[in-house]
Amino acid sequence: AAVPEVPSSGAPMSTTGPSRLPSLTGLRFWAALLVVLYHLSRKVGELPLIGPAAWYGRSGVTFFFVLSGFVLAWTYGPAPVRAPVFARRRFARIWPLHVLTTALSLGADAAIGAVLPVAAALWSLALVHPWALPTVYGGNAASWSLGAEAWFYLLFPPLLRLLAPRRRAWLPLAVLCAALGPALWAAGALLPADPAVRGWLLDYLPLTRTPQFVLGVVTGLAVRHGALPRLRLLPAAAAVVLWHLLLVPWHAAVPDSLWYGPYSASQLLPAPLFAALLAAAAGRDLAGTPPRLLAGRTAVRLGEWSYAWYLVHEIGIRCWLAVVGRPETGAATLGVWLLLAGGSLAAAGVLYRWVERPCERLLRGAPRGRDTAAPLPPRGVRVVRQRRRAVTEDQPSVEPSRLT
């Protein structure tokens, strides 16, 4: 496939259809790792240095919501599809593995003698479980974000038709979405004091997360059409890291139970930083200089496994704690971290290879091994040639929020 070389600013980055953005797939792994470390830190036990930094790793979900909007806008921006076709493709992407891991989660609960959330699991099969507090976790606690994604998928086709031809609205809408995060966080002062109710309203309710998705859509459209100046990847990544490090002293000063604590802030405030990181990473890919840490073969493969990893890792943690319990020493904690993270990642690789991809091909009717050539670039546009490979409808292979 041919990809137009990225200009310094102003000109469209791509005008030829979906181009692979491998760095975005690689970023999926790092976001998933952040969530896995978050669960290990909170449930298994903390480790020095890593534990405090990972304590608010649930912000990886915010990243995936922004990523979802970015990738869908990048993929479908030039050629919107009918809503039923789009819904079928999305269903094929996320639902088979969701059903399997829900069954695995219920089986794990039965094996360890936990209460089976049967009613919530039934709601989750229809991907409507995060709309009510009693059912928000569904049959697999990690799947709540898929319910938010299903809501985004309903919004996306009409949203794209509305936004794609109105470029002057992109910047004001992006500013509005970025401002809604702090506004929603500050609204915690007006919400019920019950932490469960407030947490559901601020962290799980799909409406609350919608501005993050819309910000991703607008950013993806702006990057595709060259409406953003070229952003540097290293400063964008450094800003994300600095944000998470600032949460450590915040946590020491303010309890999570307070509305102005860092827990909700870690999920509602960093969306603009994530949008900038995605724009910078996409720019590197389009310039033909993707960073190996994100776009190398191993990084991309781990990113492809991230959806399955997200859905299975918490099940393993739950079973370990029920059977073995929490480790007592720092060395033992590190060993359990490595065992659970590595074991669940290996299981994710198996699920991706033998369940996720085959089921998606079957449901979408995509012929295996078929190459689809991208249209030729406009005359006079210098291109960076890449090794030809099969191009699927939703490249890069980013299925967001598959994360909690």
- Per-residue burial over 311-338, b = 16 or more CB atoms within 10 Å of its CB, e = otherwise: bbbbbbbbbbeeeeeebeeeeebeebbe
Q: Spell out the residues 6+ positions from residue 252 whose beta carbon is closer than 8 angstroms to its own.
A: none
Q: What is the pLDDT of residue 329?
A: 83
Dist. CA 226–CA 71, nearest whole Å: 15
Q: What is the pLDDT of residue 19?
A: 65
Dist. CA 101–CA 121, nearest whole Å: 11
Q: What is the pLDDT of residue 80?
A: 77
Mean pLDDT by 10 residues, the chain (404 residues): 32 48 96 97 92 90 98 89 91 96 97 94 97 96 96 96 92 96 94 90 96 98 92 97 94 88 94 98 94 95 98 97 92 96 98 96 69 36 39 40 40
Q: What is the pLDDT of residue 330?
A: 86
**226-260 per-position pLDDT tens digit:** 999 999 999 999 999 999 999 999 998 998 888 89
Under DSSP, is residue 210 helix (H, G, I), strand (E, B) or coil? helix
Dist. CA 303–CA 300, nearest whole Å: 5
Q: What is the pLDDT of residue 205?
A: 97
Q: What is the pLDDT of residue 382?
A: 40
Q: What is the pLDDT of residue 79?
A: 80
Q: What is the pLDDT of residue 179?
A: 97
Dist. CA 244–CA 57, nearest whole Å: 8
What amino acid occupies position 1?
Answer: A
**Max Cα distance, the chain (Å):** 67
